[in-house]
Amino acid sequence: MSNNQINKFNGIPLSVLDLAPIQEGATAEQSFKESVALAQHVEKWGFHRYWLAEHHNMPGIASSATSVLIGHIAGNTKHMRVGSGGVMLPNHATLVIAEQFGTLESLFPGRIDLGLGRAPGTDQATAYALRRTLHAGPEEFPMQVSELQDYFSADPISRVQAVPGKGLDIPIWLLGSSDFSARLAAEKGLYFSFASHFAPAYTVPALNLYRENFKPSAALEKPYAMVGVNVIAADTMEEAEKLATSHYMQMLYLRRGKPRKLQPPIDSMDAIWSPMEKAAVLESLDPRTTIVGDHETVKKALIAFQERTKADEIIISSQIFHLEDRLRSYEIVSELFD
């Protein structure tokens, strides 16, 4: 495969969502080294973009300073697009985000994406620590998006200018796990990415809303939707099912309100979760959007997912404990490219 080629699966690009996991017994330093290794491999295999997500007060996720990490990944890769999946905009002054991403785009021209979320990406106490107030909440998100668009325009209305940032062509994506951002992305004519990997029940309704209500804009002539999916691939079904237990434990401890570092895989979850907890975790990790299996299983499930959602692009998250297993999972997916 060419190092400069974007390869496609079933006619669409595939991308990577990296939560920069911190494994049990490891540090953020190791997580960042592994993210660089993963980014370099998936770029070589032909994945389109590499996104990192803002989370706070999460012992198992190292991507809190998202824009800093985007610069680190972009600086250690050559051509792949790198961006946020996403920046949780209510946590920040819009000018700061405009300046940060203006800086990134100036350093890595034509390679930076700005994905925006309206949730805090954390608990209420941490949200307060980030903002020092909870008055600027998710309900102000549409206004913040408009402010960002103005900062990036060549002829801004605001007296305050984003330097760097003004006049730069940085694609803005709205991220969602419900219908709110779908409606807003449609109204503003922006790219849309849906978090099907943890909100499977709302996927198709939100995508339909986005497409049916889309208004062409200077940024985008027709709707473009990227949809998230979890993929844990291995050479055998048994191996994939064991690797998936790390992800199940991460979701279980999050539901309990006691998030932990990413745990090593185990043979069985039965001794860890109750029947009620098992049902809740598996409901959020629907097998149609959390694909666990070998080469053929993953291929069939990804095709079915793309045909059901009509996604223009799929972004894949793989919460796998060992780096070599994570690399192999993405390598198996890359072997499915057209």
| CATH at 74 | 3.20.20.30
Contact between 234 and 329 (Cβ < 8 Å): yes
Contacts 24+ apart (CB under 8 A), 300-305: 302/9, 302/10, 302/229, 302/231, 302/333, 302/336, 303/10, 305/227, 305/229
Would 279 be classed as within a structural domain? no
Would 254 be classed as within a structural domain? no
In the chain, the number of structural domains is 1
- Give the ranges where the chain is alpha helix by DSSP (H): 28-45, 66-75, 94-107, 124-131, 141-152, 180-188, 203-213, 237-255, 275-284, 295-309, 323-334
Contact between 210 and 225 (Cβ < 8 Å): yes
CA pair distance 281, 244, nearest whole angstrom: 12
Would 258 be classed as within a structural domain? no
Q: Phi first, then psi: give them for residue 143, nearest 5 degrees.
A: -65, -40
Supply the pLDDT for residue 187: 98
Q: Which domain holds residue 22?
A: 8-236+289-334
Q: Residue 119: name the closest of 184, 170, 70, 54 by CA.
A: 54
Give, rounded to a whole angstrom, the gap between the first and last alpha carbons of the chain. 11
Which residues of the chain carry a pLDDT beneath 50?
Answer: 1-3
Would 218 be classed as within a structural domain? yes
Contact between 197 and 228 (Cβ < 8 Å): yes
Residue in the block written with tokens 């080469």: 295
Would 273 be classed as within a structural domain? no
CA pair distance 15, 289, nearest whole angstrom: 15
Q: Residue 98: name the closest of 54, 133, 149 by CA.
A: 149
Radius of gyration from C-alpha coordinates of the chain = 19
Supply the pLDDT for residue 178: 87
Supply the pLDDT for residue 126: 76
Supply the pLDDT for residue 1: 35
Would 107 be classed as within a structural domain? yes
pLDDT > 90 fraction of the chain, expressed in percent and rounded: 88
Average pLDDT, the chain: 94
CA pair distance 260, 23, nearest whole angstrom: 9
Would 278 be classed as within a structural domain? no
CA pair distance 189, 253, nearest whole angstrom: 38
CA pair distance 105, 98, nearest whole angstrom: 10
Would 265 be classed as within a structural domain? no
Supply the pLDDT for residue 128: 75
Supply the pLDDT for residue 328: 98
pTM for the whole structure: 0.95
